[in-house]
Structure 1
């Protein structure tokens, strides 16, 4: 019985060794010897420079290289710089600082500043105004022909009559002759208001504008500004604002001087 047991144990050992040898041989046939497999794996993890570019110079597929943990060590973190042991003393805590206040806006000094408003009325194209026709419209609007040859809307003062606004000939020398009004012709007239004066600028401008419109309505023509551009609603509103600002500054100057 003892001999039979040893014979069976020997056969079992031979069978185990045979199975192991057969498995190892199959592994070597399929994957090669272990040192060859390791070298092949290492080579496959490296990126060949020539493999990055194709024949046309375009970057192809990139393979990532695995690096051993021991090849590169992380850089040591920089040590924090010590804080300075000094303080900048600006003297802010020594005494209270006054609050800053915006400086008041300075109003421009108004000392008899002059302002001139000019309107132009031009006759229709190819037509001229007759002097006597202009005189009739001007007189209906409260203007009179003066010895100087201009139509004037006057205001009586202690110092005499002062012109609120005037109408002059657009042709040089800018005058009309009383004796020749019927035969005197002109392509247009200029209306002028000058400040300062003993009258209210905004209200006087409205009177002058009404006179200019009356001339256009009765004799035809076109209403323009002092540069002979179309006098539209925006231009008129701009003149009104300028006159209101002029009056405000004038009243402020009067209060300062009193």
Structure 2
């Protein structure tokens, strides 16, 4: 029994030694023998001369870097930093920036249909005209417009009002096309007119596009009941294309108004 145990121990030792010898032989085939590798083990940059630390810093003295990073200086807490303009880009002055802002805030105007001043006002005008050679009865006009929600004011114009916390404001106004643009309440039965102008002015405490739809509906209903025709602010045909153009202008006006309110906030 003892002889068998010793035999197994010797066989195990021989197996371990054989595995170790085989692994070392594979390493020698790959990397070479140890006495050859010792002469090759040298630290990197061993042949390079050590840099002179007493000399100037080559990074700070590089003329190309000076174009990017300028000399250091002390800036006081109250001093405004200088604006930096990247190379190759034109510098924009304050006046140029103001002109760009003005251009963005003023979309193109299609005739007199959507007009605005430098202050950002917009005016949308529709006209309802009687057939050529005829005139509307002022009394009939007032009656139809009042049925659409407009009210005759003391100034002689009809207005569609909106109640707000600051009082009643006009969504849009219907005025006589004939100077001075008013209707005399005392002579409505006998007065006539070739047409009326419906006017909406922005900005206001209401949505311009929704108000335009009301104004367009009022103009179409008036023309239908009195036998007239709806035209634009220049008294040209109000086509589907011109209506869509006005809507696009009002959507753009709404977008810019929202942007302006965010900047103000």
Q: What TM-score does the superposition give when structure 2 sets the normalisation length?
A: 0.57
2:135 equivalent in structure 1: 128
2:149 equivalent in structure 1: 142
Instruction: Determine which of 158, 174, 188 is the counterpart of 1:167.
Output: 174
2:130 is equivalent to residue 115 of structure 1: no
Unaligned ranges ≥5, structure 1: 1-92
CA gap 1:112/1:198 in 2 versus in 1, 3 angstroms: farther
CA RMSD, Structure 1 to Structure 2 (Å): 2.6
Cα shift readout 1:99-153 (whole Å, capped 9, x = no counterpart): 98999x9654759510000111110122211111111110111000000000100
The 2-side partners of 1:177 and 1:222 are apart by 24
CA gap 1:102/1:220 in 2 versus in 1, 3 angstroms: farther
The 1-side partners of 2:168 and 2:189 are apart by 27
The 2-side partners of 1:130 and 1:158 are apart by 36
The 2-side partners of 1:232 and 1:164 are apart by 23
The 1-side partners of 2:187 and 2:245 are apart by 38
1:216 equivalent in structure 2: 223
2:150 is equivalent to residue 180 of structure 1: no
1:158 equivalent in structure 2: 165
The 2-side partners of 1:149 and 1:181 are apart by 11
Q: Secondary structure of 2:64's partner?
A: coil
The 2-side partners of 1:100 and 1:142 are apart by 61
Cα shift readout 1:57-92 (whole Å, capped 9, x = no counterpart): xxxxxxxxxxxxxxxxxxxxxxxxxxxxxxxxxxxx
Q: Secondary structure of 2:243's partner?
A: helix
Partners of 1:120 and 1:191 within 8 A in 2: yes
The 1-side partners of 2:247 and 2:89 are apart by 35
The 2-side partners of 1:94 and 1:112 are apart by 49
The 2-side partners of 1:182 and 1:159 are apart by 35
The 2-side partners of 1:202 and 1:190 are apart by 18
The 1-side partners of 2:144 and 2:203 are apart by 27
Q: Which runs of 4+ in 1 moved over 4 A?
A: 95-103, 105-112
Partners of 1:112 and 1:196 within 8 A in 2: no
Unaligned ranges ≥5, structure 2: 1-62, 69-85, 92-96, 106-117
1:94 equivalent in structure 2: 64
1:194-205 equivalent positions in 2, closer than 5 A: 194-205=201-212
Q: Bigger radius of gyration, 1 or 2? A: 1
The 2-side partners of 1:212 and 1:226 are apart by 12
2:214 equivalent in structure 1: 207
The 1-side partners of 2:163 and 2:185 are apart by 23
